[in-house]
Structure 1
């Protein structure tokens, strides 16, 4: 008798200790049990956001990846649902790996699979139990209501990698071609036989039959991405209008494994980067080879933008995994039997070719102005409005750009600091978690800010995860911040007395 994998996952969730763990986030989506990693199939429809995710309910005892599922009406409070994709088919029995979603509108296409509004594309992973040889295929799940999910009977859509590439072939993103109505495109991360990374483009008119168009190329990049790492994971394209130029641009966001750039940053085991151009066919034109990290923090990977119906346009909202590969040794495994969380959703904008990120949930207009604003602050001043709170959102700005100042979160034993440090050359963001309960994969990181960045810190802290935004979203920095479970609130500190120009905060617990 075959194992009932759905029931086994539900049993694991039902017996979970996660919700009672003092480190378990309040407003960040986290694993209900076991392990969570990449965002999958993000979509929003009629005001409800659905986040699917790589879910290993039996971690660390057994590695078997499902698609978990949660939903939210406000991007703050997430309701967990039953797993959406179960790895119980001949093509995914080693795991239902990452992919994306498409929300169909009206009767597009006329021959839509199952005539279902929601199309979920994912990678089926199959490993030979003897040789460990991998077969990766691209597969389809449909749903009429996001409660019932059906694997396409003729799966897999793409049974294997094309000639000239290795079985490292995964993470499909599907979208409508805005330049060819009625046509759909798929972008898949891949590895060439010479062990260099790339992405492949496919095209379809019915979402079932896909024709390989070729590699994504960069004709104006002077070869910058020809040998850029050994594998490209989680590639995605988002179209944005540049706020300065008014030009429509395509932003490629992806995770190249194995790059060694000669620049500040890129300190994580695997980075996540973006570049900007204009997609024509298989060419990302007007891309000069410039690239930058999406998030400068210790933990960030595999982000994805929410898919929408064309009849329900809205901002580009992105969520990332606040984690990275082979970094599961976090305190929450022992205390609650869970590991990893998502970032809070972020609104993406493009300004002068640079990607900006701001929390999608803004501080409310009536958020209390901090009582310390305008006063001369001593070397360490507690923010009374946050005292007793372990999940909160705060924004602080100083008019004295040459002052060294920052925020400490935690108590005297276990804490992190977030600090802006100006000198004659530049201002730098310094994040230090060397005194926290989690230091294995980075303790102190320094980020040089571009000239003219507003001396503003926006911090979203949620028990064991902290996100920092500098200026107008010029810098995003994500970290797992396991401070003392008894610690609450925040302290503003400075090298010398100074005054805040503005500040407000709201608590979530």
Structure 2
């Protein structure tokens, strides 16, 4: 008898104790049970945001990877739904892996597969049980209502990897070609036979038949990306306008595994990077080979932007996985039977060629303004009374004005014995979680800030998840912050009696 994988997931969710775990976040997406990783198929449907994600409900006992599904109308309260994609087909028996979505409308619909507005693309993973040989295929799921999801009867659309590449061939991003109406493109992360990473582009007019165009190349980059890591995961291209020049640029965001640049940063298991240029055919022109990390935090990977209808344009908004490959042994596994979370949605822009990310979060009423003078850092901290009983909050703080000796200032999350310190020191952002309950991928990290960008900190803390924004969104830092359960208030830290001003704060619980 065939195993009912949908029922297995349903039973696991019904038996879950995750929601009662004091570490379980309030306004970040976390799995209802088991393991979460890459965000998938992000889309906006009218006023509702839908997030799909890699979901392993039976983790750590069985590695059955589904697409989980949650939705929100305010990006702060999320409702879980039944899994949208279940690994129950011959081509995805070892997992329904990452991909994206596209939302169709108008004249696109009659010719669309199943005449459905919602088209979800994913990589099916299959491994030979004897040899372990992998087959990766690209597949389609359609939906008319985002309640019922149907695998396309003609799957797989792309049954295997192209000649010259290995079976590491995955993570499709399908998008409309802005320069060729009626045509669609697919960007795939791949590995060449010589075990170097690359990205491929396909083209289609019907979303079913896909023609390989070739590798994405960088003619003006001086060879910077020709042997850049051993595999490229989760590539995506978004078009953004530079706030300073008004020029439109195509921003490639991707995860090159195995890079070792000689620069500050890139300490995570695998990096998440971006570069800018102009996509013409298969060339990303005007890209000089410069690249940067998307997020400087301990945990961040595989981000993706929301898809929208052409008639409902909006800001490019991104969500990332707050985790690292192979780092699943977190406190929440034993206390609540769940692990990992997604970032708060971030609105994207460019400023002088650098990516700017601003969190999109409104927790509700409760803003407050006050002026506090912190203690000497080594001597203690000044609590923020309005947040004394809150475990989930958003806080924006201004530090000392320019001039005179540069003091150390910032915030402490948690108690004296178990905390995370977020401070500005000599023009750098310093995050120290060495006394917290989770330090698997580093206890302390220093990030050099852009000149003059060290006067404001925005901190979003959600029980065991923290995101930090500085330099008006040019520097972001995400981390898992397991402090003492139930006591994650906040205190202001400063040296030399420096004045700090709480510009705004909001508490959720």
Query: Normalised by the size of structure 2, how large is the TM-score?
Result: 0.97
Identify the residue that residue 307 of structure 1 maps to in structure 2: 307
Contact 1:391 1:461 in 2 (8 A): yes
RMSD across aligned positions (CA): 1.1
Identify the residue that residue 407 of structure 2 maps to in structure 1: 403
**Aligned: 1:361 with 2:365:** no
Contact 2:374 2:495 in 1 (8 A): no
**2-side partners of 1:95 and 1:163: how far apart?**
23
**1-side partners of 2:271 and 2:44: how far apart?**
27
Contact 2:366 2:507 in 1 (8 A): no
**Which segments of 5 or more consecutive residues in structure 2 lack a partner in the other structure?**
none
**2-side partners of 1:491 and 1:74: how far apart?**
28
Q: Secondary structure at the match of 1:96?
A: coil
Which is further off, 395-404 or 176-185? 395-404
Identify the residue that residue 200 of structure 2 maps to in structure 1: 200
Per-residue CA deviations over 1:416-460 (Å, capped at 9, x if unaligned) read 1000001xxxx0000000000001111000000111214110000
Alpha-carbon deviation of 1:169? Answer: 0.2
Identify the residue that residue 375 of structure 2 maps to in structure 1: 378
What does 1:178-193 align with in structure 2 at a 5 Å threshold? 178-193=178-193
Per-residue CA deviations over 1:109-134 (Å, capped at 9, x if unaligned) read 54100000000000000000011100
**2-side partners of 1:451 and 1:415: how far apart?**
28
Q: Secondary structure at the match of 2:11?
A: helix
**2-side partners of 1:362 and 1:264: how far apart?**
33
Identify the residue that residue 134 of structure 1 maps to in structure 2: 134
**Aligned: 1:222 with 2:226:** no
Identify the residue that residue 394 of structure 2 maps to in structure 1: 393
Per-residue CA deviations over 1:133-158 (Å, capped at 9, x if unaligned) read 00000000000000000000000000
Per-residue CA deviations over 1:221-268 (Å, capped at 9, x if unaligned) read 000000000000000000001111111100000000000000000000
Identify the residue that residue 9 of structure 1 maps to in structure 2: 9
**2-side partners of 1:486 and 1:116: how far apart?**
45
Identify the residue that residue 425 of structure 2 maps to in structure 1: 421
Q: Secondary structure at the match of 1:264?
A: coil
**1-side partners of 2:488 and 2:286: how far apart?**
48
Alpha-carbon deviation of 1:369? Answer: 2.9
**Which segments of 5 or more consecutive residues in structure 1 lack a partner in the other structure?**
none
Contact 1:109 1:206 in 2 (8 A): no
Count of matched residue pairs: 502
Alpha-carbon deviation of 1:377? Answer: 3.4
**1-side partners of 2:462 and 2:486: how far apart?**
13
Contact 2:109 2:117 in 1 (8 A): no
Contact 1:136 1:161 in 2 (8 A): yes
Identify the residue that residue 31 of structure 1 maps to in structure 2: 31
Identify the residue that residue 105 of structure 1 maps to in structure 2: 105
**2-side partners of 1:378 and 1:65: how far apart?**
49
Alpha-carbon deviation of 1:503? Answer: 1.7
Alpha-carbon deviation of 1:205? Answer: 0.5
Alpha-carbon deviation of 1:399? Answer: 3.8
**2-side partners of 1:298 and 1:378: how far apart?**
28
Alpha-carbon deviation of 1:360? Answer: 1.1
Per-residue CA deviations over 1:47-92 (Å, capped at 9, x if unaligned) read 1000000000010011110000000000011000000001000100
Alpha-carbon deviation of 1:488? Answer: 3.0
Contact 1:241 1:350 in 2 (8 A): yes
Contact 1:407 1:417 in 2 (8 A): yes
Alpha-carbon deviation of 1:362? Answer: 5.0
**Aligned: 1:120 with 2:120:** yes
What does 1:75-474 align with in structure 2 at a 5 Å threshold? 75-108=75-108, 110-361=110-361, 367-371=366-370, 373=371, 375-379=372-376, 380-401=381-402, 402-422=406-426, 427-474=427-474
**2-side partners of 1:255 and 1:153: how far apart?**
31
**2-side partners of 1:390 and 1:83: how far apart?**
29
Contact 1:453 1:474 in 2 (8 A): no
Contact 1:37 1:323 in 2 (8 A): yes
Query: Normalised by the size of structure 1, how large is the TM-score?
Result: 0.97
Q: Secondary structure at the match of 1:409?
A: strand
